[in-house]
């Protein structure tokens, strides 16, 4: 056994310093977490889990079986509505945190990871729509082709190439989204849940004080 510290020890100690166990798995949360606006983050994650689960089932059975079997159509519908809910919850979550100025207190990386995850999720959903192998997918792909070609993106991102779009949809883009979401969760654990804005910053406390002073006079 070597006397010096090896790289695994240094890596473990660095990980514990960056993410102490009491922050990674806390046994309590601030009281303001009871507000409804804090629910949409975990609802977004729940929808993402359903998306991945239903997508794995769809992918294992091939790229077209959901068109001619009842169970395939069921999982395709689950996948579709999970995507709809994912974006619905995520948009509310982003807007809520935007108006709460969620990048306060050194949380800029937390905000940026969530915003980038949202931006990457858009082409991920787009490639899913054009991977359906139906007339809807064909119409979306042909309409998008001209727009993308006009920007030069079509040279690298061919929406009429089913194999390329399917690979983007089931592998490349989901890996990026899941990685960003995982990083986002770890950053939230590290920096803590962003608290509501103080009343003084909203001008509510000052207005209330002036009102009380005016009534007393």
For residue 208, what pLDDT is reported? Answer: 47
Flag whether 11 is in a domain: no
Flag whether 43 is in a domain: yes
Flag whether 187 is in a domain: yes
Q: What is the pLDDT of residues 67-99, one digit of tens each?
A: 888 999 999 999 999 999 999 999 999 999 999
Flag whether 6 is in a domain: no
Flag whether 110 is in a domain: yes
Question: Each residue of 165-191: b (16+ CB within 10 Å) or e?
Answer: bbebbbeebbebbeebbebbbbbbbbb
Q: How many domains does the chain have?
A: 1
Flag whether 130 is in a domain: yes
For residue 212, what pLDDT is reported? Answer: 47
pTM: 0.83
Flag whether 186 is in a domain: yes
Q: How confident is the model at residue 46 (pLDDT cuts 50, 70, 90)?
A: very high
Flag whether 27 is in a domain: no
- 77: domain CATH number is 1.20.810.10
51 lies in which domain range? 35-198
Q: What is the pLDDT of residues 1-29, one digit of tens each?
A: 555 578 888 888 888 888 888 777 787 77
For residue 203, what pLDDT is reported? Answer: 62
- 3-state secondary structure labels for all residues of the chain: CCCCCCHHHHHHHHHHHHCCHHHHCCCCCCHHHHCHHHHHHHHHHHHHHHHHHHHHHHHHCCCCHHHCCHHHHHHHHHHHHHHHHHHHHHHHHHHHHHHCCCCCCCCHHHHHHHHHHHHHHHHHHHHHHCCCCCHHHHHHHHHHHHHHHHHCHHHCCCCCCHHHHHHHHHHHHHHHHHHHHHHHHHHHHHHCCCCCCCHHHHCHHHHHHHHHHHHHC
Query: Cα–Cα distances in Å, from 187 out to 14, 103, 114, 139?
Result: 15, 12, 10, 40
For residue 205, what pLDDT is reported? Answer: 54
């Amino acid at each position: 056994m070597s006397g010096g510290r090896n790289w695994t020890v240094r890596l473990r100690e660095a990980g514990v310093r960056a993410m102490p166990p009491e922050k990674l798995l806390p046994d309590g949360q601030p009281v303001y977490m009871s507000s409804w606006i804090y629910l949409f983050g975990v609802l977004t994650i729940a929808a993402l889990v359903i998306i991945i689960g239903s997508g794995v089932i769809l992918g294992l059975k091939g790229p077209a079986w959901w068109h001619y079997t009842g169970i395939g159509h069921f999982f395709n519908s689950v996948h579709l509505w999970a995507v709809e809910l994912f974006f619905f919850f995520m948009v509310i979550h982003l807007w809520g945190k935007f108006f709460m100025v969620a990048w306060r207190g050194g949380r800029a990386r937390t905000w940026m990871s969530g915003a980038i995850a949202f931006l990457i999720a858009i082409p991920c959903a787009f490639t899913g729509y054009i991977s359906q192998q139906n007339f809807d997918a064909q119409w979306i792909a042909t309409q998008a082709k001209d727009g993308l070609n006009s920007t030069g993106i079509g040279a690298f991102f061919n929406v009429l190439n089913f194999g390329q779009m399917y690979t983007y949809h089931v592998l490349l883009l989901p890996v990026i989204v899941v990685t960003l979401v995982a990083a986002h969760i770890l950053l939230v654990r590290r920096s803590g849940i962003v608290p509501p804005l103080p009343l003084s910053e909203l001008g509510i406390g000052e207005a209330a004080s002036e009102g009380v002073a005016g009534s007393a006079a």
